[in-house]
Amino acid sequence: MANPQELSDFLAQVERRAFKQAAYAVRDDHAALDIVQDAMMKLAENYSARPVEEFPMLFQRILQNAIRDFFRRQKVRNLWTTLFSSFSSADEDDDHDVLETLQPHGDEGRNDPSDEVARGQTLKLIEAALQKLPQRQREAFVLRYWEDMDVAETAAVMGCSEGSVKTHCSRAVHTLAALLGKKGVGL
């Protein structure tokens, strides 16, 4: 069994190498720092009672999983960003919030009525597709990608394992893509 000092020494020893590995993989220093911090926290929270000899193997596995989670989240965010980009016009700035677009604007008159109709129809298609998902998939999808919770937070809220959250999210994304693709909404 490792004591807190041994865990701290191990984390200090692997910190720089883990950061370089994550930064090389994701090509974003800020994201790499977050990934390494998450991996270190998971090791400390879940495996601190393990023998020190197991730390290198455990940490490497946790780090690799954290990097994969980053890419999965990016893939889904890119998918939905592309989908929701149809709601913004070319003259809007990059800080445009999709949720503001989806809310009624009143009589601002800034959008072409045909654009408003197309957006409304697309929104209805998305809402209908979300409603067709099984309840657990819909819950996992909304918490992970719209509420921006991480896997552990989502698992705690849903009362299931992190693996179940990942499975539900993956299935939800594939199902939504298929449903929206059939309706002509390109992703």
| DSSP notation for 120-179 | HHHHHHHHHHHHHS-HHHHHHHIIIIIS---HHHHHHHHTS-HHHHHHHHHHHHHHHHHH
Looking at residue 103, what DSSP letter applies? S
Q: How far is CA 120 from the centre of its chain?
A: 26
Q: How far is CA 3 from the centre of its chain?
A: 34
Rounded to the nearest integer, the mean pLDDT of the chain is 82
Question: What domains, with CATH codes, occur in the chain?
Answer: 1-68 (no CATH), 88-187 (1.10.10.10)
For the chain, the first-to-last Cα distance in angstroms comes to 49
Q: What is the pLDDT of residues 163-175, one digit of tens each?
A: 999 999 899 888 9
What pLDDT score was predicted for residue 179? 87
On the question of pLDDT at 109 being above 50, the answer is no
* pTM tops 0.75, yes or no: no
- Cα 66 to Cα 79, 91, 151, 174: the distances in Å are 20, 37, 10, 21
Nearest to 119 by CA among 108, 104, 132, 130: 104
Q: What is the pLDDT of residues 59-80, one digit of tens each?
A: 999 999 999 999 888 887 777 6
Q: What is the pLDDT of residues 4-58, one digit of tens each?
A: 899 999 999 999 999 999 988 888 899 999 999 999 999 999 998 999 999 999 9
